[in-house]
Amino acid sequence: MIGPIKAKDLFLPAVDIWFKRWFVLTAGDMEKFNSMTVAWGSVGGMWEMPFVQVVVRPTRHTFSFMNESATFTLCSFPAKYRKDLAVIGSKSGRDGDKIALTKLTPMKSKAVATPCFREADLILECRKIYWQDLDDRNFLSARIAAQYPQMDYHRVFFGEILRIRGSREFRRK
Ligand X SMILES: Cc1cc2nc3c(=O)[nH]c(=O)nc-3n(C[C@H](O)[C@H](O)[C@H](O)COP(=O)(O)O)c2cc1C
Q: How far is the CB of 31 from ligand X (least distance, A)?
A: 17
CB nearer to ligand X: give 48 or 95: 95
- Given a contact cutoff of 8 angstroms between Cβ atoms, the answer to whether 26 and 75 are in contact is yes
Exposed / middle / buried, residue 100 (Cβ in 10 Å: 0-12, 13-18, 19+): exposed
CB nearer to ligand X: give 82 or 118: 82
Q: How far is the CB of 58 from ligand X (least distance, A)?
A: 9
Q: How far is the CB of 92 from ligand X (least distance, A)?
A: 3
In DSSP terms, which residues pair with 45 in a beta bridge? 50
- Given a contact cutoff of 8 angstroms between Cβ atoms, the answer to whether 39 and 88 are in contact is no
Amino acid (1-letter code) at residue 134: L
Phi/psi of residue 117, nearest 5 degrees: -125, 135
CB nearer to ligand X: give 37 or 42: 37
Question: Which residues make up the interface to ligand X (CB under 6 A)?
Answer: 22, 34, 36-40, 55-57, 60-62, 86, 89-94, 154
CB nearer to ligand X: give 11 or 19: 19
Nearest to 77 by CA among 5, 114, 25, 42: 25
Q: How far is the CB of 144 from ligand X (least distance, A)?
A: 14
